[in-house]
Structure 1
Amino acid sequence: MSGAPEAFLYRNRRYRVEDAHQREEKVALTNLLATTQAFLDRPHGHVIGDQRVGSTDRGLIAVRDPASASVVAHVPAGGAGEIDSAVRAARDALQGPWGKMTPAQREHALLRVALKLEQHAEELAQLEAINQGKNIVAARAIDVGFSMDRRCVSPSFVWSQSCLRAS
């Protein structure tokens, strides 16, 4: 493997990349956490700014598990109106609270997101495994594991951890 890691850590457990690829552990729809199943069963909409926007007149799109081709959820089809609203909301956020934050405040906000990801790691891993048709080991370690890795969010976290190890 050129440039690819030979192993990775997830929740203090070491996984070999070969293990994740050789063991084709699929998330059976019968083995989902209740919270994951509830998420798949509920109606979905767009989140624009801090508002949930319901289905549009453009209809729904079936979300399929690529591994089984089964429909696991439906999401609203977006159009130009939703795109324009999302761009406006992003600009408003940048000119509003997010843009006025100091780097330390932004870091704190991103760390709170990382903690939320950690709290819901298994649900997110199951959803990603279904969404991408991949095995759960890879979804846990790579998709979710790297997303909640605080070293990616916080330069001062890396610095503080390296100082603690050095002392």
Structure 2
Amino acid sequence: MSEEAKYCPHCDAPNKGHALYCSECMAGLMTFDSPLEELAENKEPAVDARENKAEVPVILPDMSEPLASLKCISQPEFVFPVRDNSLLGRQGDINVSPLERSIYISREHARFRFREGKWLLDHLSRNSHTYVNGIEVPGGSPQVICDGDKITLGNTSFLFREEK
């Protein structure tokens, strides 16, 4: 059974139907109907946003900031965008919960930082390990990472790619 392709709304590249991010430009592929989109089209919102007492700020990513990606080695269809200060984990900015073995990755496993032109990886997990090219990253000691490094969280490995 063949899976239907999902086309990126930004670069029109074909992606696998279950992909969360475009394999070419790293743009998000998830779509949903929101009251903001309906208002922009002069439609009546399906849900009255005024009923929700908490205001939800809309934060758009700064596309001028450095960008990198993590490609899951065991499930190469999963490519996750990485930005400065991204939290990686089952509940992080880089949410790895769709991966088959995500149970071995902590909710807040590691953080990526971009400082002085270099990417750093901070290990945060108390229960699982983090490795860069097979060498364990101790907590509290950020590890410099480079394009092509293999990052292993729990028992899941990723290829780190720096966008140039």
Q: Is TM-score (shorter-chain normalized) higher than 0.5?
A: no
Q: Which has the higher Rg, Structure 1 or Structure 2? A: 1
Q: Which has the larger share of strand?
A: 2
Q: Which has the higher contact order (CA 8 A, sep 6+)?
A: 1
| TM, length-normalised to structure 1 | 0.18
| TM, length-normalised to structure 2 | 0.18
